[in-house]
Structure 1
Amino acid sequence: MTQVYPSREDPVVRGLSESIGGPMGEHGTRHRWWTPTRVLLLLTAVVFSLGLIQKAPCSVVEGQDQNWTYSHMCYTDLRPLYIPRGLAEHAWPYTDDAETRDRYEVMEYPVGISYWAWGTSWVAHWLNGSPDLAERYRLPVDELWGLPEMSREVNLFVLINAVGFGALALLSTWLLAGTHRGRPWDAAAFALSPALLLTGLINWDLIAVALVAGALWAWSRDRPLLTGILIGLGTAAKLYPLFLLGAVLVICLRRRRWRALAVTIGAAAISWLAVNLPAYLSGPEEWKVFWSFNADRAADLGSLWLLVDQAGDVGFSAHTINLWSWILFGAWCLGVFLVGMFAPEEPRFAQLGFLIVVGFLLVNKVYSPQYVLWLLPLAVMARPRWRDQIVWQACEVFYFCTVWWYLGSYLAPAGGGDAGFYWLGIVIRVIGQLYLVGIIVRDIYRPAHDPVKASTVAEVEAGPERGRVPEPSA
């Protein structure tokens, strides 16, 4: 398999390479140790380390007001949830113990995230000297923040999670580098992503991101069973990996691979059930909180619903948003299905997956800043071109800035009223997403514009004497 070099293929990289000697030559050789994958892993480590530095000011936020956190754009959910969700007492997230439930709110996340948070809280307790939890239980919850050892323990909790997130980011890069055989550098847009730097530590979303990257890798290796397992595990951490089954459906219908379709769906269902079963058996009402929490949620940050609600003073109810968001998402999925079924060539898994997930985000009632991570592995595999990645991620970074300025009231007009600049941030983010949607749909209907398929065609035309063989659609 001949490797594709972005300095030859990608116009942006080719232009930048002129400052260091130009594109890779025909007789250029690779370094024995610094393989593309190792370079990409190093770049991921550097970017993620910069993300740690960017979030560091919020580790010394004690004594500062909440706006200070927003002004430094270093907010993370991990710190404020540690005590209110019972992690300081290492309470099982799905216990139905009445006293525990009176003291603490139930984790409002899917079980995969709750398990991870519970496990890392145990490690934080151990590293902090295994404090006496019975003594903590005798105190009011609000007083736990004032315990002398608590500040260190919360910092340990954040750092332990950060190490785990870093490992997930490295794993994601490794998987993405192997998804398109002969095109490891496609993963560079993930490794060097400003979105990864800025949002990787806000919440536990990288758990699902790594599992989605694994599903992309597994499908490219024609492993439907493993693909289904990874999609099921991802859905147990965040809902959106479930939508990748729509991409599997289109591809299997076009290939008439009924067994692969059944295996993938069945494996996804079984793995999701297996992970959810312990939580449901130990506390069915607590397990349901994630679903009821999202159902009762009104228009929230980043959504077009919030923009229309504020700009038009509409006052959408949660029921209205739930109904219409699912209607619109269903219509969007139907459109993606038709695009996939009537395309001149079979679309790639990442292309269809991106189109479905971005549709969900466009009509969803909330777009938290870290939700950009949901799209990241799909986007870089669906459209591995730096120009388009820069355009899209620049729009996401602009939104990232405006949401914190909005929460800190830095965009509030001096005379009062709504923050129109935040509405602009939402619109620009949506424009960036729709731009990438348009480019990917064009690639699907005009495959010559798709970098991955174009490089595959070039290898086939070059002939087998150069050791080039076509790869399965990924």
Structure 2
Amino acid sequence: MARDLPRVGERRPPETPDLVTVPTLEDPVVREASHVVGGPMGRYAVPLAHGLRVVAALLAALSALTMGAAVIERAHCVDQGWSTPDQFWHLCFSDLPATYKDNGLSVGAVPFLTGATGSPTLAQPPLTAVTMTVVAQLVPDGDAQHRMLLYFVLWAALAGILLALTTWWTAMSVPRTPFRAAHVALSPVVVLTVVVAPDVLGVALVAAGLWAWRRERTVAAGALLGLAVSARSYPVLVLVALLLVGLRAGRVPAVARTLGAAAGTVALVTGLLALLNPDAALAAYRAW
């Protein structure tokens, strides 16, 4: 017979550590806020009755709300274009169309990847630079303003997919508290920043790496975190945190495999780009 979940303010009995945390039963703020969507979870309801994947999918779908708000917040620039100082007064600045216009992306992906004479370079880490360049290749011909808009639209679509995946991986990484992923899906930070720069690529790869680590797939976790380091610089701190956690937990072999896979992935991505365009591989680090 299933045990009742505790009411707000009640402590869980020590013999039930595996119960799923339900925010509407344990957090009075969430409990009150839930009345607009039908109230808190029923006393005899079963948490995750439809499975963890269903909850993760629903939370991932909710990320479309914040992603849509992020694009709507930039409606003036979408309609009028990204011009200075207009884009600052209307709070719709995005570095994505500016990079497309000013850093050579509008000339196409092939010169960047082949290192031809006059080839453009980007002040972005290798994987991000390659991704931005490939997306630029998808923009059809047209006038400059229209192409900038289409580039922004393509990146917004990609960012929406990456945000949904980030939410999914976050929920799947914390199976006892999957609703915490709502802090990712519905974060106001997403509205303000997700289409300002291409950082969401690194964020998604970190979430994927931590999900793989949670499932004890140490080599896959290292490879994903290595891709994250190739996309942004901050995931290095995540690797340091994993090292410290692994040392404390006595999981030195697992940590060693993860760090080794991460280092190998970074070397592979940077090396492949260096073979195609040596200047591009280290352009971001020189610029920084």
Partner of 2:259: 265
Distance in structure 1 (CA, Å) of the matches to 2:243 and 2:97: 40
What is the match of residue 149 of structure 2?
155
The equivalent position to 1:110 in structure 2, one of 104, 121, 125, is 125
| 1:90–1:169 distance in 2 versus 1, CA, 3 Å | same
Residue 246 of structure 1 and its aligned partner are, at CA, apart by 1.2
Q: Which residue of 2 aligns with 1:17?
A: 34
> What does residue 72 of structure 2 align with?
53
Please say if 1:73 is aligned against 2:91. Answer: yes
Quote the Cα distance in structure 1 between the aligned partners of 2:186 and 2:73.
15
Report if the CA contact (8 A) 2:126-2:282 is conserved: no
Q: Secondary structure, in 3 states, of the residue corresponding to 1:93?
A: helix
Q: Give the whole-Å Cα distance in 1 for the aligned partners of 2:60 and 2:277.
A: 40
How far does residue 152 in structure 1 lie from its aligned partner after superposition? Answer: 2.4
Cα distance in 2 between the residues matched to 1:150 and 1:84? 11
- In the alignment, the residues of structure 1 paired with residue 199 and residue 92 of structure 2 have an alpha-carbon distance, to the nearest angstrom, of 16
Aligned partner (choices 2, 8, 24) of residue 7 of structure 1: 24
Question: 1:93·1:114 contact (CA, 8 Å) conserved in 2?
Answer: no
Residue 179 of structure 1 aligns to which amino acid in structure 2?
S
What corresponds to 2:179 in structure 1?
185
Q: Which amino acid aligns with 2:194?
A: G
Superposed displacement of residue 65, structure 1: 4.8
Change in Cα spacing, 1:21 to 1:164, as seen in structure 2 (3 Å) is closer
How many pairs are equivalent?
Answer: 268
Other structure's SS at 2:63 match: helix
TM-score (structure 1 length as normaliser): 0.53
The 5-angstrom pairing of residues 326-337 of structure 1 reads: none
Distance in 2, matches of 1:119 and 1:65, equals: 25
Does the Cα contact within 8 Å between 1:94 and 1:287 map onto a contact in 2? no
Partner in structure 2 of residue 286 of structure 1 = 280
C-alpha separation in 1, matches of 2:83 and 2:275 = 41
What is the deviation of 1:288? 2.3
Please, which runs of 5 or more residues in structure 2 have no aligned partner? 1-17
Shift of residue 20, structure 1, vs aligned partner: 5.5
| RMSD (Å), alpha carbons | 2.2
Corresponding residue number in structure 2 for 1:346: none
Structure 1 residue identity aligned to 2:138? V
8 Å CA contact retained: 1:41, 1:174: yes
The answer to whether the 8 Å contact 1:231/1:268 transfers is yes
State the alpha-carbon separation in 2 of the partners of residues 280 and 111 from structure 1. 9
| Per-residue CA distance 1:161-198 (angstroms, 9 max, x = gap) | 11111000000000011111132101001111010111
Partner of 1:368: none
Letter in 2 for 1:238: R
CA distance in structure 1 between the partners assigned to 2:88 and 2:221 by the alignment: 39
Where do 5+ consecutive residues of structure 1 fail to align? 132-147, 295-474
Note the 1:24-35 alignment, pairs <5 A. Answer: 24-29=41-46, 35=54
Identity of matched residues, %: 30
Find out whether 1:123 has 2:143 as its counterpart: no
TM-score of the superposition, structure 2-length normalised?
0.85
CA separation of 1:21 and 1:157: change in aligned 2, threshold 3 A = closer
For residues 127-206 of structure 1, what are the structure 2 equivalents within 5 Å? Answer: 128=140, 131=141, 149-206=143-200
